Structures are given as C-alpha cells and as structure tokens.
Structure 1
Amino acid sequence: MNTDEPHPPEPGEPSPASAAPLFRSFWMGGYEGADHVNSRGEEVLMNRRSGHWERLEEDYALLARFGIGTIRESVGWRACAMAEPGAGMARVARTAALARKFGLQVIWTLHHYGVPEGVDMFSRDFPAQLAEFCDEAARTLKDSGDGPLSFQPVIVEDGPPDELIALGGVFAGLWKLQAEGQETP
C-alpha cells in the first residue's frame, strides 16, 4: 500500500483548498527594529529614531488603507531591558493591542542585533538569559492576537550561531510555559 498518496480529510478537518492562508495579506509591512550599540558606541534604536513607537496608530491606519494585513514588529531585548521595569513589555503589549485594533497579524522578532548591557553572548549564562527574555515576551503576547502567535526569533544579519542560540531560547520559554501547565502560544 502506497502511503504517499493523498487521503481524503477526516470529518471536520479542513481540506487543503479550504485551509486558511498563512498570512493575512500578500504584502507585508515591517518596521526596522535594529536595537544595538554600533562600533562608535552610539545607540541605534530605529523604532525610536524613526518615530514609529510614537506614531503606531497612524502607521497602522496607513497600512490598513493599503490593505496590508501582516506586519513584522520587533520586541527588542535591549530596548526592553533598558526601559524602566515593566515599561518595555508594556510598550510591546500596547503595540499588540493597536495591531489587533487594526486587524493586523504580527510576526514578532524577538532579537534584532543588540543585547542588554552586561549580557555576553559567549557566556554560559547567555542561553538562560535569552530564555528568560523569550519567556517574558511569550507571556506578554500570549493573549494579544486573534490568531496564532508568530515569532521570528532573530534577523538573519546576526549570523548562524546567534540564530541557533535564539531558537533555543524561544523553545526554552515555550517549554517552561508547558511545564507549568500553561497553554503555549
């Protein structure tokens, strides 16, 4: 018996033709989320510099006018860490709430370049530090949308070693939620 042949869907299971699309729109909006200190020691926090954080509602309204339903936003580990306690994730929650108001599907980037001051990507503590941040982001965002929660752990510019570490951090955060008996996003 050839098991590679397509089989009819089970009752209640969507057929491939009726399955929901992965993204809400063909075109995707994105906001530059670089968040690091450059080689000259200058802070690069593009969402602040471009004014996006201050103009979220205006930016999202423009996307809706153009029919863009999917966007990429950055959580920003360094930006969250340097804010007053709780303020970084409060900003992320506000961003999620406004995205939902405008019907936007958000793909959240967890780490785009920078790490908080005092974090060494090559130390033994780094995976646990990143996992803690990913856990906090997942808890903040878990009930924020009207669809599945989507994460893009890193931006490719960081390079392969960092991508693998970040993926480990994301999964560690999700596993922690599962271990505590909580529903995972």
Structure 2
Amino acid sequence: MTNAVFKSFFLAGFECSTHRRPDGRRLDLLAATDHYRRAETDYRQLADHGVHTARDGLRWHLIETRPGHYDWSSFLPMLKAANRSGTQVIWDLCHYGWPDDIDIWSPAFVERFARFAAAAAQLIRNESDDVALYCPVNEISYWAWAGGETGRINPCSFGRGNELKRNLVRAAIASIEAIRDVDPGARFITAEPLIHVDSPSPEPEHVVEAECYRLSQFEALDLLSGRIDPGLGGSPEYLDLVGVNFYPDNQWYLEGPTIPLGHHAYRRLSTMLQEVYHRYGRPLLIAETGAEGSARAAWLHYVSSEVQHAQRRQTQITGICLYPILDYPGWDNDRLCRVGLLGDVTQCGLRKVSQATAAELRRQTTLIDAHARQG
C-alpha cells in the first residue's frame, strides 16, 4: 500500500540509540544488532514483508570525530544500501547520543547540531533524488525525563528536565532550519511519547495532578510549534508529520502501576490519536509501537484496529512504525528483548522471522489496503 508520504503504510524502526548509561558505558544498538553491516540485507528482507519505509539512524558521535570534521564511513554504506534496495528512510539525527566534547546544556550544542544536520542533509541530497525525511531529535520528552530529571541516561542529571527539554527543542528548531537551507523539500517527523495518566482516587487534588501530568506529554510539541514559551523560536512550521510513540506500558495510575489493556481506566488509542490530531491539525504517524514475546502479534492487531477506527473518524494517520523491528539487547543488562519481526541471523544469511507477527502484519496490511481503496 502507498500513500502521500510513505512507500508503505507499515514502517520498520531500527533501534539506533547511542546514549551513555549512568555507569559511563556508551550504547550503540546499530552495532549490537549488526544492522549497520547488514543494512541492505535487512532492508530487502523487510521488503519481502511489504515494508518499504524505515526509521534508521546516524551515529553523531562516530561521524563528528573532531569539531566540524565529519567521517561518514559509519553512515554512507547504510545510505547507499537504502538507495540500492529502494527503501525509503526517515533518518534519526540525534537518538540520545552526541559527541563527548560537547556540553549538552550549552548554546554550543545547538550550534554544533545544526551544522551537523546541514552536513548530513547535503550528503543525503547528493546521494539520493528522493524526498528526504528526518527525525531531528528523538523523543525530546522522554530524554528530558530520563536524562535531565531522573538520571537514567545521559546527561544523567536530576531536577533539570525542563532545562534539558528546552535546549533539545532549540536544537531541533535549529536543525530543521539548517536542513531546509540545504534541502527546502525535506520532510520532518517528531517521535514523542503518547501517554495516559489516571488518578488513583477521586480526590480532586489527585485528579488535577494526574491530568496535569497527562497534558505534559504535549509540552515538547507545544514548544516546537510556539504555542508556549515563544521565546524559544517555536512556530507551527516546525510541526510537519506529528509522530507519537505508543507501547503497552504507556498508560498508568499517577505514582502507581500500569493500567492494563481492557481495564475500565484504559483509554482507547483511537481516542488519544484523535486528541492529538485535533490539537495540532497535522498528519499523524505512529512513530514507534511494539510489544515483547508472544504479545507482539496481539499488540499489532490492537494498534492497527485502533488506527483504522480513528481513520474512520477523519483522523489523518500516515503510517504505523513497528519498533524495534529487530530483537535487541536491553539497555541496562543486555537481556535479549524478543520484540522484532526479525531476530537472529540464520545459516541461510537471513534473519529469523516471528511468524505470528508476520501473519498479523499480512492481515493488517490487507485490511488497511481495503480501507484506503474505500476512500
């Protein structure tokens, strides 16, 4: 199935995190999954499942090895692999990681990132005639919480989440401007968590606190679009395709446990998507979604059904990105997370396929194709 933006309605997301953990170890998930070497084979195997568009990433810390000097050897083979295989890629430019010599809290971070984004855009434009697609800064909201508020990932700080969020927004805006100077036709997505937070009690103060927490999910997008804190330079023009990330644990009670699917307090995904669409008036993308183990196929069924339900109510949704598309070692303990459509490399040189996920993907592709034909 094709649409106005992507070559396929279902997209594949390659885990490309490059952050440092609190113990100082830098992760490199493109290396850990061996995707950076197997990119063309992975892309072609996805095409066999009807997936022709992917989210993938550049590893900034490997590319800008010295200030202003770019070594593209870790990225150019992947870019060429995408071109040879006919795969459309949304390139993540900053997926939690940055070169060690930059102070992420400083204006220099914004300036360096904008120059890096422009250089990457120039390379991509030189190598491809397709419309370029970018996710400038991945999950600003989560990064601000995990890196600036709770010390879970770099910069491993506490109580500085708002400060980090605003500098990441500045960096995203500066990178979009820099890319558009090089390539005015480039398109952009966000990838922000989509959440629901409910009150554990009917007490008014708890209800209000839960609702404030729930609404905080929109802050990064509101900053980018200039709805709040306009001094940062936000404007509606910085929201192109609004990507949201939704997982089984994205709904919870305030300071309490996860709300399970099917519980009376669980909010329908379709309703959440409609809220985002009405708030911003921009096409939506499920930029990340997935589950682990035997829940993979059932979760895909639920998300796809809810997307179709929202579409029938005039919510413009351009795609669903299965993320991560490869099984990968967990951030904290290297535990193998069986989350992907594709897994270990077999003796024939291809990756093992989750047959239940593949079957559900075929079913949902057929249903969405039929829905598109009906208009």
Q: TM bucket by the smaller chain?
A: 0.7 to 0.9
What pairs with 1:14-163 in structure 2 (closer than 5 Å)?
21-82=4-65, 86-87=70-71, 89-156=72-139, 157-159=142-144, 160-163=165-168
Alpha-carbon separation, structure 2, partners of 1:162 and 1:60: 34
After the TM superposition, list the runs of 4 or more consecutive aligned residues in structure 1 that deviate by more than 4 angstroms. 182-185
Checking the alignment, whether the CA contact within 8 Å between 1:34 and 1:45 is kept in structure 2 is yes
Checking the alignment, whether the CA contact within 8 Å between 1:35 and 1:79 is kept in structure 2 is no
CA separation of 1:102 and 1:135: change in aligned 2, threshold 3 A: same
Kindly state the Cα deviation for residue 163 of structure 1 after the two structures are TM-superposed. 3.9
* Structure-2-length-normalised TM-score: 0.40
Match of 2:175 among 170, 177, 183: 170
Question: 5+ unaligned residues in a row in structure 1: which ranges?
Answer: 1-18
Kindly state the Cα deviation for residue 146 of structure 1 after the two structures are TM-superposed. 3.9
CA separation of 1:22 and 1:165: change in aligned 2, threshold 3 A: same
Checking the alignment, whether the CA contact within 8 Å between 1:108 and 1:151 is kept in structure 2 is yes
SS in 2 for 1:121: coil
CA separation of 1:162 and 1:125: change in aligned 2, threshold 3 A: closer
Aligned length: 161
Deviates more, 1:161-170 or 1:60-69: 161-170
Kindly state the Cα deviation for residue 76 of structure 1 after the two structures are TM-superposed. 2.1
Checking the alignment, whether the CA contact within 8 Å between 2:58 and 2:91 is kept in structure 1 is yes
Alpha-carbon separation, structure 1, partners of 2:115 and 2:56: 20
Larger relative contact order (Cα-Cα within 8 Å, sequence gap ≥ 6)? 1
Checking the alignment, whether the CA contact within 8 Å between 2:60 and 2:99 is kept in structure 1 is yes
Q: Deviations over 1:146-177 (max 9, x none)?
A: 42101111111323425412322313423553
CA separation of 1:136 and 1:43: change in aligned 2, threshold 3 A: same
* Structure-1-length-normalised TM-score: 0.77
Q: Of the two, which has the highest radius of gyration?
A: 2
Match for 2:64: what amino acid?
A
Question: 5+ unaligned residues in a row in structure 2: which ranges?
Answer: 145-164, 187-375
CA separation of 1:175 and 1:25: change in aligned 2, threshold 3 A: closer
Kindly state the Cα deviation for residue 93 of structure 1 after the two structures are TM-superposed. 2.3
Kindly state the Cα deviation for residue 33 of structure 1 after the two structures are TM-superposed. 0.7
Q: Deviations over 1:34-73 (max 9, x none)?
A: 0121111111011011111111122112111111110011
